[in-house]
Amino acid sequence: MALATVADVRRWLEDENALENELTPFLEAAEDWVKRVARKNWDATGTVTEDHFNVRQGSILQLKDENPIITKVTTFLTPSATGTELDLTSEIQLLDTGRLQLFFNPVVGARGLELASVSVRPVTHQRVEVQYTASSSVPKPVREGVAGLAASLYAGRGQDIHNLQSETIGGYTYRRGGPRGAQGASDSWPAPVKALLSPYIRPRVRSV
């Protein structure tokens, strides 16, 4: 399933005569670029398995699907260990935007107080395997952002985009270039595209 269509790109370009075979490579490049930067897989279908490594108990995992149906979560203490399947009703919690939290198993201490910082499971799992049914849904801002990025790439073909200071696509004029910042590979995206896609780009967080 494509994230956007050729018709979407033509709408951004305001050019219904742009040839499909010329637009398609730029659309495919834009889709791949956005998926790599956002670390999402909106066009996945059926059953998906994701592996997450060196996960601490209580950590929140960011899945590549924002609305998955979780079917199985298995933790592994070591690479050769037998996996432990978690109870989907009591040992995990699916949060918004595809975030999955592994619960602590609290130990009851003196006077019935729960010591939430103590877990009966290992402190760190070498691997957590998450299986889910993909939602196969592409948010509208993502569709528009991918189409806009493809239109930008198409409009700038044959130009040195590193030295390009401004560009007009359809009714949008924007400035580009400048130093690279925290968003890395998305810094060179047109302002309208960044506005559409920035809510879906999360910085990579690593527990220490």
pLDDT digits (tens, 9 = 90+) for 98-140: 999 988 655 444 454 444 444 455 578 999 999 999 998 889 9
pLDDT digits (tens, 9 = 90+) for 133-190: 999 888 999 999 999 999 999 998 866 544 444 444 444 444 444 333 334 467 789 9
Predicted confidence at residue 176, as pLDDT, reads 45
Query: How many residues are listed for the chain in this entry?
Result: 208
pLDDT digits (tens, 9 = 90+) for 29-47: 999 999 989 888 888 899 9
Phi, psi angles (nearest 5°) of residue 154? -65, -45
Domain definitions of the chain by residue range: 6-42+138-200, 47-133
Predicted confidence at residue 1, as pLDDT, reads 67
Record the pTM: 0.66
Could you give the dihedral angle defined by the CA atoms of residues 65, 70, 76 and 77, in that order, rounded to the nearest 10 degrees? 90
From the number of C-beta atoms within 10 Å of its C-beta (0-12, 13-18, 19+), residue 113 rates as: exposed
Rg from Cα positions in the chain: 22
Give me the percent of the chain exceeding a pLDDT of 70.
Answer: 74
Predicted confidence at residue 104, as pLDDT, reads 61
Give me the percent of the chain exceeding a pLDDT of 90.
Answer: 53
Token pair 């290992």: residue: 122
